[in-house]
Amino acid sequence: MTSETESNRSSVSRVPRVLDVSVTLSSLVFWAIVLYWARTQGWARVKYGVIFIGAILTVYALDQTRQAYEGGDRIDAAVLLPASIVLITASVYFAMNFERVYVHQQGYAFEHEYMLARLIILSILYLTWREFGNLFLGLVGGVILYGMYGNMAPGILNHGGMTELTLLQSLVTDLYGFYGSLTQLTAAWIAPFLLYAGLLFAYGAFDLILRVAIESANYIRSGVAQTAVLSSTVIGSINGSYTANAAMTGSFTIPTMKDSGMASHRAAAIEAVASTSGQVLPPVMGASAFVMASYLGVAYLSIVVAGIVPAAILVASVGIAVHYTAISDASSQEMDFTEFFDEELSNRQKLTEAVRFGIPFFVLIYFLGIAQYTVMTAALWTIVSMVLTGVFFPMVQRLIDDSVFGALSEFVTQFWNTIHGFRRGAIILAPIAIILAAVNGVVDIFSVTGVPNKIALLLIDLSGGVLLLAVLLAMLVSILMGVGMPTVAAYVIVAILIAPTLISDFGIPEITAHYTVFYAAILAGITPPVATAAVVTAGIAEANFWRVCGAAIKIAAPLFVLPIAFVYNPGMISMSFGLTTVIAGSLVLLGAITMIYGLNYPFRMGFGRRLALRLALTVVGTVVMVYPGRYVKLAGIALFVGVFVMEKVMVRGMKLPFLRGVGQ
């Protein structure tokens, strides 16, 4: 009996190891499929999208089953596996019968295919609930119900309703819906870049970013807080979810800020704002740049160019706000390097690492911006160059410093790092692929039922045709649609529902309208009462949620004004970067700084005077950011400069509190 028990325990303990190996192997097979298609495009894009869903869900099912098994949650694993198997089986079936299903059977299907479609919808609903919670399940499920029973909806939202078979055809059997354009875009464009992100993680690029950020603390008084901003924004721009980014980077930045003497709610607010702001940073923009390029029918690089000035305004204003927030707590803002790393890098090692990660980035820029290759081809060669530099640069360095055996040992290490990078890239991608498949279904139902046109009529009616009111209403809807969603999913929804109205009915340029709703959608991360990024960081910091939200709004105040500023200053968002863009962006930036200064600067004066000054500067900053007339902007900037100089002369004796060691 004892030997039988020990045998059972041994077999149980082997299960997580087998699943772990299976995740790695399935990830390698998945990326082989993706890279093969990027190189050859040997299948039709629709067929590739079908295969892509089955392959990435194989990785997801194995990885999540492993986690459930290790956590002792057998029920979760028992439900997860059937749902995943349904979707994997469906992908195999539709891929093998692609021509019959997609070409010859548009508009009808066999009964067993309808039954499979019902199971697919249930599986998608379960996986979206499992990964993103009740809110997103309510959105997807609610839209499906609206598609079927829209004839019962009140007023302008009423439509004729969809029969069950029409719904099944729209979502599944016609290979649109869940397998539609957004899923295909994810497979073709977004997936390779997330492999690039996985390799960057595995080779230590983000360790290098953190090292640079920590060393910068020696030169900036708010060094610890700025480290959080730098690391979180850079990482957040790639991983595509402000909530996930807040959890990942906040786990080390928030305790560090607290240890330096910063108040818990301010530390949490800084991380929440940094994670949210990172979603708009070019060149990836949380993967939204690729989708925006597809919707607008322009080159991906044009979207990146258009986003440079708005992102620069946001990063600069947040950086200044964080500086004022940090020094107002009188925290030490000194970082102990040994808390994060065992040893410092020599100057030669720093240069080697910079070249190691810089070459693939310049390969990307060259192929996209100069050679004008497709996104897929550019991503493919970027990945190839990242693997080459990631593996061989450390080998050469070990060969110079050590020996041939040391170089061989380094090769083995970097080989396994490469494998881990492929695995990590697939694991990062899987939840994004699931939610975008679900959103694709939502978008398809919206298109069939004419919801975008109904929203347009509703916006016009509520705003009375007044542009400012229309933009404010569009921002409100965008924030509501962005709650709890990854960045790219939130953008897709608002790009379908809101942007067309701003373009067609209010004459806003296409690129401006899309950036307006995109920036508004990410505000959900720090806007109460949901504020998912603030929820995560407040939990890590053990701080009051509402105080975190209040501090975050003060720090990120210009972000709430920027979408309106885009509309009234369209010159600052341009796909052809020029002097007009720079001037428009610079004036808006000065308005943002005025607002930040008013809300966050540690003024030395009585409460009443301080409150009045903060309110006045916030209003002036808002006017400078939004008002289209240049003379009004210059007058507001002159007023800010006057207040700034007077405060230095009358209170601080012209001693600027920006550099370490300067008294206040």
**What are 541-576's pLDDT values in tens digits?**
888 888 888 888 888 888 899 999 999 988 888 888
pLDDT single digits (tens) 388-397? 999 998 888 8
Average pLDDT, the chain: 82
pLDDT single digits (tens) 269-313? 888 888 888 888 877 776 788 788 888 888 888 888 888 899 889
Q: Can you tell me which residue has the tokens 């990024």?
A: 533
The DSSP string of 601-624 is: S---S-HHHHHHHHHHHHHHHHHH
Lowest mean pLDDT among 152-156, 326-330, 580-584: 326-330
Burial class (CB within 10 angstroms; exposed 0-12, middle 13-18, buried 19+) of 347: exposed
Report pLDDT for 217. 60
What does residue 624 show for φ and ψ, rounded to 5 degrees? -60, -40
Burial class (CB within 10 angstroms; exposed 0-12, middle 13-18, buried 19+) of 350: middle
- Is residue 452 reached through a cis peptide bond, with omega within 30 degrees of 0 on the bond before it? no
| Of 28 and 536, more confident | 28
Sign of CA dihedral 536, 540, 546, 547: negative
The DSSP string of 372-415 is: ---HHHHHHHHHHHHHHHHHHHHHHHHHHHS-HHHHHHHHHHHH
Q: Residue 99 CB: number of other CB atoms within 10 A? A: 11
Report pLDDT for 374. 78
Band (651; pLDDT cuts 50, 70, 90): low
Burial class (CB within 10 angstroms; exposed 0-12, middle 13-18, buried 19+) of 663: exposed
Report pLDDT for 13. 58
Lowest mean pLDDT among 64-78, 444-458, 605-619, 645-659: 645-659
Lowest mean pLDDT among 133-147, 253-267, 325-339, 436-450: 325-339
Report pLDDT for 422. 94
Answer yes or no: is pLDDT of 385 > 90.
yes
Band (664; pLDDT cuts 50, 70, 90): very low
Mean pLDDT of 52-61: 89
Percent of the chain exceeding pLDDT 70 equals 90
Report pLDDT for 342. 59
Round to whole Å and give the CA distance between 352 and 355. Answer: 5
- Reading the block at residue 578, the tokens are 């020029």
Contact 544, 536 (CB under 8 A): no
Contact 177, 441 (CB under 8 A): yes
Report pLDDT for 663. 42
Answer yes or no: is pLDDT of 477 > 70.
yes
Percent of the chain exceeding pLDDT 90 equals 13
Global pTM reads 0.78
pLDDT single digits (tens) 419-476? 999 999 898 888 888 888 888 888 888 888 887 777 777 777 787 878 888 888 888 8
Lowest mean pLDDT among 162-171, 398-407, 426-435: 398-407
Report pLDDT for 275. 83
The DSSP string of 94-115 is: HHHTHIIIIII-TT---HHHHH
Band (386; pLDDT cuts 50, 70, 90): very high
Round to whole Å and give the CA distance between 288 and 517. Answer: 12
Report pLDDT for 334. 56
Nearest to 192 by CA among 47, 383, 374: 383
pLDDT single digits (tens) 192-222? 888 888 898 888 887 777 777 666 666 666 6
Contact 167, 148 (CB under 8 A): yes
The H or E element containing residue 119 is helix 111-149
CA 292 to chain centre: 14
Q: Running DSSP on this structure, what letter comes out for residue 218?
A: T
Report pLDDT for 219. 67
User: CA torsion angle for 369, 374, 377, 381 (degrees, to 10)?
Assistant: 10
- Reading the block at residue 593, the tokens are 């700084």
pLDDT single digits (tens) 313-370? 988 888 888 888 877 765 555 555 555 565 677 777 778 888 888 898 888 888 876 7
Task: Tell me how far apart the 2 most distant CA atoms of the chain are, in Å.
Answer: 90
Nearest to 322 by CA among 616, 545, 596: 596
Mean pLDDT of 405-413: 86
| Of 18 and 380, more confident | 380
Report pLDDT for 239. 63
Nearest to 599 by CA among 138, 379, 269, 109: 269
